[in-house]
Structure formats: C-alpha cells, structure tokens
Amino acid sequence: MNAEQGSMLVVDDVEANRDLLSRRLQRQGHTVVVAENGRQALERLREQQFDLILCDIMMPEMNGYQVLEHLKADPALRHIPVIMVSALDDIDSVVRCIELGAEDYLFKPFNPTLLKARINACLEKKRLRDQEQAYLKQLQAEQEKSERLLLSILPRPVAEQLKQTQSTIADSFAEATVLFADIVDFTGISTHRSPIEMVNLLNHIFSAFDNLAEKHGLEKIKTIGDAYMVVGGIPKHRPDHAEAIADMALDMQIAISKFNSETGESFSIRIGISTGPVVAGVIGTKKFIYDLWGDTVNTASRMESHGFPGAIQVTDSTYQCLKDKYLLEERGMIPVKGKGEMQTFLLKGRK
C-alpha cells in the first residue's frame, strides 16, 4: 500500500458531510466508500477491507463510540485505524474516543491540510504495522518448518529437552523392545540396478515402514543402508511395547508382500526382536540423532542377522512378553556371535 493512498470508509449520517469529506479524499487519490450510520459501516467492513475509517460520533441507531467498541472487540478489524471527525469539541469526547482505541480526533469544520496530514500519518502507521505482521507470519512459518524438521529427527520430549539444554541427553529405560529389519541379499540385488533406482525402492519400502511405526505408536530410530531400526517403550513408557513391536513386524511382512505384488519385485526381509534394558539419547553437537545403546540393541541386531528370510526371530525375553497372545514357534538353541548359545523363537502371528 502506498502511504499516500488508501481505501477509506467514511461514516456520517449527514449526506452533505459525507459528500464533502468524500470529495476531498478522492482528490487526494484515495478510494472512498460511504456509510450512513454505524450499522451500515459494520456491514461495509464485512464486505471489503479498508485502510482507514473516518467516523462521526453523533449518529442514529449506532453512534461513533459504539462503532469503535465493535471494531476494537473484533480481532479481524481492530487493527484498522479510526479517525473520529466530529462537531463535538469538548475534551471529554476526545478522551473517550482515544480510550476506546481511536487513532486520532478532528473537529468539524476540519482543516483540509491538517486532515491530509493526519490521514497520511495513519496510513503510514498501518503500512508499517501490516509489514510487521507479514514479517511475523513469515517468521512463524519458518519456525513451524524448523519445528517439523526437528520432530522428524527427534521424539517430541527429546526435542523439547534439547531446546532447553546443551548438555548430553541420555536416559535409561528398564525395559523396551527393539526391532531390526534387513532386506535379504540387498547387495546382490543392487548390482543389477542403478543407484537412483535402488534409493527409490528403499524409499518406497521404508516410507511404508514409517507409516507403520506411526500407526503402532513406535519410535523409528534410523535406517542404516538397507536396515531399519525401530523401538517400542521409549521415550514414553508403554507396558505393551513388545506387543506393539510384534504387530509392526507382522505388518512389515504384509507391507513387503504388497510391495512385491504391486511392483513385480521379489524382496524379502529378515526381522529380529529383543526385549530388555536400553539407554537412549542424543550425543555430539552436529548431525545428531536419537540413538539406542545396550546389550538389548546388539541382541536384536543378532536376531536379525542370524534369522531366516521372511522370518521374525525373537529372544526368550521377548517370547515371555508375547507367549500369551501370539503364536510363536521354538527354534531352539542357536549359536549367536558374541553371545554364545541362545534360545530363540519365531513369531508367526496373533492367537
């Protein structure tokens, strides 16, 4: 908006006064709309936007004071500057208008030069105010974008904690369930595809897994090449963490089957699950991620790497959490790297 020109609403019940003020404003280059009383003025304001309102006080139906009260009570209209132009020249009327939120007060008959100066000052203030609001909206949009980006990397409680402190964030959890999934023979498959094609395939599959993690209320930790890691029970404790992970594992198998049927591919995944204590947190100062540490994490990874294509292998600790509600097949004792002999089970479905 040009500070020298604007859209004006003139409110006065006397036609001669409306015409005189309108002509003066139009000669100054302003666009003018008139209203015969306060109620009509509010109707005009609902129909279009104005940069400035020039309002009389003494009017039938709704006087200038009431118009001011309505304007300043409406969040959508309260920012429009109002100049009261009235024959009332007592100080009480001026004070009341200013207290109700009027930008300025001019006595009738008004001085044309003074009127122009007051109008230009009001328009300049509104221009600066509109500019400030635009900057604030832009800043808010950028803040919301940054917030979404941060929450796509970190759980909300951890993000809030990170914003409040620069120290290392690490929390111990007595029990959580960790899942690792890996695409079988991904290296061999990738030798016959372009890198871009493989990235697109992985993105398709892992995006489906991300949706499942959100559906089951789980926390995705990271992807490492063709491996996918997710955990249940942190950062907010939930007693059914093992069940939620089991449901996701079964849904991941369905998702892979659906992907293969839609694309003609023949991918399969190995899934490993372990339940136990973990430490979770954020370390470092650059390119940080929310990560997990502990024997439970290592064991879940071993369950995946020592499993079968298309199978979900779980530890005895996970079995104890699931045995009452899920179908599990005993695999028996198997040698696990770094762990020795371990009792494992294969998750088949819900009972």
Indicate the number of domains in the chain. Answer: 2
Judge if 215 and 308 occupy the same domain: yes
Phi, psi of 80, rounded to the nearest 5 degrees: -75, 125
> Dihedral (C-alpha) 154, 242, 304, 266: value to the nearest 10 degrees?
-90
Peptide bond into 235 cis (omega under 30): yes
For range 103-125, the mean pLDDT: 86
Residue 78 has a pLDDT of 87
What is d(CA 113, CA 111) in angstroms, rounded to the nearest whole number? 6
HEC states along 108-157?
CCCCHHHHHHHHHHHHHHHHHHHHHHHHHHHHHHHHHHHHHHHHHHCCHH
Identify the band that residue 148 occupies on the pLDDT scale cut at 50, 70 and 90.
Answer: confident
> Does 193 fall in a domain?
yes
Check whether residue 191 and residue 335 sit in a common domain: yes
- Is 162 inside any structural domain? yes
The DSSP-derived string for 147-163 is HHHHHHHS-HHHHHHHH
Residue 135 has pLDDT above 70, yes or no: yes
Assign 52 to helix, strand or coil.
strand
b (16+ CB within 10 A) / e for 290-328: bbbebebbbbbbbbbebbeeebbbbbebbbebbeeebeb
What CA–CA distances, in Å, run from 13 to 257, 290, 302? 76, 67, 86
The residue from 90, 114, 146 where one domain ends is 146
Give helix 195-215 / helix 241-263 axis angle, nearest 10°.
140
User: Does 159 fall in a domain?
Assistant: yes
> With 60 as the cut, is the pLDDT of residue 327 above it?
yes
Q: Is 252 exposed, middle or buried (0-12, 13-18, 19+ CB in 10 A)?
A: buried
Q: What is the rounded average pLDDT of the residues 330-336?
A: 90
- The DSSP element (H or E) to which 41 belongs, if any, is helix 38-47
pLDDT of residue 1: 46
Smallest CA-to-CA distance from 290 within 339, 192, 242, 219 is with: 219
More confident of the two residues 152 and 324 = 324
Q: Are 201 and 328 in the same domain?
A: yes
- How far is residue 58's CA from residue 62's CA, in Å, rounded to a whole number? 9
Alpha-carbon distance 153 to 166, whole Å?
Answer: 17
Q: Which of 186, 274, 180, 277 is closest to 230 using CA atoms?
A: 180
Q: What is the pLDDT of residue 338?
A: 83
* pTM, 2 dp: 0.62
222 shares its domain with 328: yes
Residue 1 domain flag: no
Residue 230 lies in a domain: yes
Tokens 């992807």 belong to which residue? 223
State the CATH number of the domain containing residue 344: 3.30.70.1230
CA gap 110, 84 in Å, rounded: 11
- At 290, the pLDDT band (50, 70, 90 cuts) reads confident
189 in any annotated domain = yes
- For 78-82, what is the mean pLDDT? 90
Instruction: Flag whether pLDDT at 152 surpasses 80.
Output: no
Distance CA 202, CA 206 (A): 6
> Look-up: residue for tokens 């293969």?
260
Locate 132 and state its tokens. 């400030």
Q: 119 with 250, same domain? A: no
Within a domain: 2: no
- Predicted confidence at residue 260, as pLDDT, reads 92
Q: Is 166 in the same domain as 131? A: no
Taking the mean position of all CA atoms in its chain, how far away is CA 201? 28
At residue 244 the predicted structure's pLDDT band, cuts being 50, 70 and 90, is: very high
Region 218-229: mean pLDDT is 91
Alpha carbon of 304 to those of 8, 274, 345: distances in Å? Answer: 72, 10, 12
301 shares a domain with 192: yes
57-71, 149-163, 334-348: least confidently modelled range: 149-163
Instruction: Give yes or no for residue 266 having a pLDDT over 50.
Output: yes
Choose the final residue of a domain: 146, 174, 209: 146
Same-domain pairing of 229 and 345 = yes
In a domain, 190, yes or no: yes
Expressed as residue numbers, the domain containing 340 is 154-350
Q: Please indicate whether residue 232 or residue 154 has the higher confidence score (pLDDT).
A: 232
Answer yes or no: is pLDDT of 4 > 70. Answer: no
Q: Which amino acid is at 17?
A: N
Which of 115, 146, 177 finishes a domain? 146
Three-state DSSP class for 34?
strand
Looking at the fold, whether 158 and 126 belong to one and the same domain comes out as no
Mean pLDDT estimate for the chain: 88
SS3 129: helix
pLDDT beyond 80 at 229:
yes
Q: Which CATH number do you get for residue 25?
A: 3.40.50.2300
pLDDT digits (tens, 9 = 90+) for 161-217: 766 765 667 788 999 999 999 999 887 777 788 889 888 989 999 999 999 999 999
Kind of pairing between the strands at 312-315 and 269-282: parallel
Tell me if residue 295 falls in helix, strand or coil: helix
Tell whether omega for the bond before 109 is within 30 degrees of 0, i.e. cis: yes
List residues bridging with 336 in a β-sheet.
Answer: 340
Q: What is the pLDDT of residue 165?
A: 65
Does residue 138 sit in the same domain as residue 162?
no
Predicted confidence band of residue 293 (pLDDT cuts 50, 70, 90) = very high
Claim to verify: residue 105 and residue 160 sit in the same structural domain = no
Are residue 128 and residue 70 in the same domain, yes or no? yes
> Is residue 43's pLDDT more than 60?
yes
Least confident range of 117-121, 125-129, 159-163, 261-265: 159-163
Cα angle 295, 217, 344; round to 5: 35
> What is the four-CA torsion angle of 16, 21, 92, 96, rounded to 10 degrees?
120
